[in-house]
C-alpha cells in the first residue's frame, strides 16, 4: 500500500502533515507480509532510482517505525544538527554549508534541511491613515483577507442545522478563488469595517509586494533554529557522529549562532557515559565488598584481574562479528564482568583455604586450578551456549539483543582461557614473594 501526501492546505489539516509548502511531499509505503528483503534494501533501490530519474529532488528516507521515533526523541533523524540563532538567513547559510560537507562523509545516506527561506509570499503594508478614515484597523484588514482566501471558520453561528433532516453543517465563508487570477484581482478583495456599511478594496488601504518567506520557523527552547537531518547508511552511528563532530569543529560558526547535535545520538552518548560511570562504580563496589570479605587489599585486586581479559575478548568478538558498541553490548559487558569475577573468586578462595591448611603457595595454586577448573568451565560454557541462539539473531526482532549476547560470548571465551593462567600467576607472584620474605626473616631470626 502506498499513500502520498503532496503539498499543504491552509487549514486545520496542516497540523497533521510534515509538509512545509506546496513544493514538499511525503510518501508512505507499507510492505507486504512475508517480504524477503529488508526495508533498507527497498529504500536503497528507491533512492537510487530517484537519484537517476529526478536528480533535482532532495529526498530523505526513514523506516517510519514507532521504535525509531521514540529512540530519536520524536525527531525524524537519529542525528539532528540544530543551528540556533535569531538571524534565520545566517543560520540557514551555516546549515547549508554543514550539510554540503556532511553529504561527502562516509556512512551517510541522506541529508535534509526541512526548512526553506525562499518560499514566495505577499507582504501587506497597511496605510493606517487611509484605513482609519474608513474605520478599519490592521487586525480587521487581516481578518478580512484570511476569511476571503481560506476562511477562518470563526463565523457566528459556525454551524447550520437542516430543518428537514436535522443534519448539522459547519459554516465557513470564502471569496471565490476562481476570481483571483492575478495580483490585481487580489487587490480587489472587498474590505468592510465591523460596523461599517461601505466596503472598500484591499488595494485602497494597503500596498502589496511579493517577498520571500520561510516555509516554517522552528524553535528549540524559544530560540529559532534550522535543522540538518542526517541519516546513517549503516548501524555505526557512533563513528558517524564523531565524523560529524569533526566537521562542526572545523566549520566557521558565527559568534551569534550555536550548533548542537540532538536526536538518538544525544541519548546514546548519555547512555554511554552513564554506563561507563556505572561500570567503574560497580568495579569499585565489588572491590570494597571483596576487601571486606577477604580482609585483604591484594586478593580483591588479584580477583579483578580477570576483568581486563574479558573486556579485550568483548572488543575482539564485536570486531569479528561486525557488531557496533551500543547500549546492549555495554549491558553484556556488565553481565560478563559479574561472571568472570565469580570464576576468579572460586580460584582465589580455594587457594586461601588450602594455604590455611598449611599447604605451600605453589602447591595450593596448582591444586586450586585443577579442582576449580571444572566449575569454571561449566559456568562459562553454560552461559556461552545459552547465548548462542540470541547472538545468531535468527528470529524477527532478535537483532536488538544480539550485541548483548555477542559481548558476553566474546568476553567469557577469552576470560575463561586467560583467567586460569593470569589470576593464579598473579596470586603466586604476590603471595610467593611474601612467603619467601617471611621464610628468610624467620631464618635470620633463628640464626
In this predicted structure, the answer to whether residue 153 has a pLDDT above a threshold of 60 is: no
| Contact by Cβ (8 Å): 241, 261 | yes
In this predicted structure, the answer to whether residue 293 has a pLDDT above a threshold of 80 is: yes
Q: Higher pLDDT residue, 96 or 282?
A: 96
CA distance 439 to 192: 111
| Contact by Cβ (8 Å): 77, 108 | no
- Tell me how far the alpha carbon of residue 17 is from its chain's centroid: 22
In this predicted structure, the answer to whether residue 447 has a pLDDT above a threshold of 60 is: no
Residue 226, H or E segment: strand 223-232
Q: Report the range of poorest mean pLDDT among 54-58, 82-86, 419-423.
A: 419-423
CA distance 391 to 38: 19
The pTM of the full predicted model, rounded to 2 decimals, is: 0.68
Nearest to 328 by CA among 272, 367, 290, 285: 272
The tens digit of pLDDT for each residue in 33-43 reads: 877 787 888 88
| Contact by Cβ (8 Å): 31, 38 | no
CA distance 98 to 387: 43
The tens digit of pLDDT for each residue in 138-148 reads: 888 888 888 77
Nearest to 232 by CA among 217, 242, 222, 218: 242
395: left (phi over 0), alpha (psi -120 to 50) or beta: beta
CA distance 117 to 330: 43
Q: Report the range of poorest mean pLDDT among 161-175, 204-218, 430-444.
A: 430-444
Establish how many alpha carbons lie within 13 A of residue 74's alpha carbon, considering only the half-sphere containing its beta carbon: 1
pLDDT band at 225 (very low <50, low <70, confident <90, very high): very high
What is the average pLDDT across 201-217? 89
What count of other Cβ atoms lies within 10 Å of the Cβ of residue 190? 11
What count of other Cβ atoms lies within 10 Å of the Cβ of residue 298? 14
In this prediction, what percent of the chain has a pLDDT beyond 90? 16
Per-chain mean pLDDT for the chain: 84
* Ordered domains of the chain (ranges, CATH): 31-117+217-262 (3.30.70.1440), 122-212 (3.30.2090.10), 268-446 (1.20.1640.10)
What count of other Cβ atoms lies within 10 Å of the Cβ of residue 385? 10
In this predicted structure, the answer to whether residue 95 has a pLDDT above a threshold of 90 is: yes
CA distance 189 to 151: 14
Amino acid at each position: 500500500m502506498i499513500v502520498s501526501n503532496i503539498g499543504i492546505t491552509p487549514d486545520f489539516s496542516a497540523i497533521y502533515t510534515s509538509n512545509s509548502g506546496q513544493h514538499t511531499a511525503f510518501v508512505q509505503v507499507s510492505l507486504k507480509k512475508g517480504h524477503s528483503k529488508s526495508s533498507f534494501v527497498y529504500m536503497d533501490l528507491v533512492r537510487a532510482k530517484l537519484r537517476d530519474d529526478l536528480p533535482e529532488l532532495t529526498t530523505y528516507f526513514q523506516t517510519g517505525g514507532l521504535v525509531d521515533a521514540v529512540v530519536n526523541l520524536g525527531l525524524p533523524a537519529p542525528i539532528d544538527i540544530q543551528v540556533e540563532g535569531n538571524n534565520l538567513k545566517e543560520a540557514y547559510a551555516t546549515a547549508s554549508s554543514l550539510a554540503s560537507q556532511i553529504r561527502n562523509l562516509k556512512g551517510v545516506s541522506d541529508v535534509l534541511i526541512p526548512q526553506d527561506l525562499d518560499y514566495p509570499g505577499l507582504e501587506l503594508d497597511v496605510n493606517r491613515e487611509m484605513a482609519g478614515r474608513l474605520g478599519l484597523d490592521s487586525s480587521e484588514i487581516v481578518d478580512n483577507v484570511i476569511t476571503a482566501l481560506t476562511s477562518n471558520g470563526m463565523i457566528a453561528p459556525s454551524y447550520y442545522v437542516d430543518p428537514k433532516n436535522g443534519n448539522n453543517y459547519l459554516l465557513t465563508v470564502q471569496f471565490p478563488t476562481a476570481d483571483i487570477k492575478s495580483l490585481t484581482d487580489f487587490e480587489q478583495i472587498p474590505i468592510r469595517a465591523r460596523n461599517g456599511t461601505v466596503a472598500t478594496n484591499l488595494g485602497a488601504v494597503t500596498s502589496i509586494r511579493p517577498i520571500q518567506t520561510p516555509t516554517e520557523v522552528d524553535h528549540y527552547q524559544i530560540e529559532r533554529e534550522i535543522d540538518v537531518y542526517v541519516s546513517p547508511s549503516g548501524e555505526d552511528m557512533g563513528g558517524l557522529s564523531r565524523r560529524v563532530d569533526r566537521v562542526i569543529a572545523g566549520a566557521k560558526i558565527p559568534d551569534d549562532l550555536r550548533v548542537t547535535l540532538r536526536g538518538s545520538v544525544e541519548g546514546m552518548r548519555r547512555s554511554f557515559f552513564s554506563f561507563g560511570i556505572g561500570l567503574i562504580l560497580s568495579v569499585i563496589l565489588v572491590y570494597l565488598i571483596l576487601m571486606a570479605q577477604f580482609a585483604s587489599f591484594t586478593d580483591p585486586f588479584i580477583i579483578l584481574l580477570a576483568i581486563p581479559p574479558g573486556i579485550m575478548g568483548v572488543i575482539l568478538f564485536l570486531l569479528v562479528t561486525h557488531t557496533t558498541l551500543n547500549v546492549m553490548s555495554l549491558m553484556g559487558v556488565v553481565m560478563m564482568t559479574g561472571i568472570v569475577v565469580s570464576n576468579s573468586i572460586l580460584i582465589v578462595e580455594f587457594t586461601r583455604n588450602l594455604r590455611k591448611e598449611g599447604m605451600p603457595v605453589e602447591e595450593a595454586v596448582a591444586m586450586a586450578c585443577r579442582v576449580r577448573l571444572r566449575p569454571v568451565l561449566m559456568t562459562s560454557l553454560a552461559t556461552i551456549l545459552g547465548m548462542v541462539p540470541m547472538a545468531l539473531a535468527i528470529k524477527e526482532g532478535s537483532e536488538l539483543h544480539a550485541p548483548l549476547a555477542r559481548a558476553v560470548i566474546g568476553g567469557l571465551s577469552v576470560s575463561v582461557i586467560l583467567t586460569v593462567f593470569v589470576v593464579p600467576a598473579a596470586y603466586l607472584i604476590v603471595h610467593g614473594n611474601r612467603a619467601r620474605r617471611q621464610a628468610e626473616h624467620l631464618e635470620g631470626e633463628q640464626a
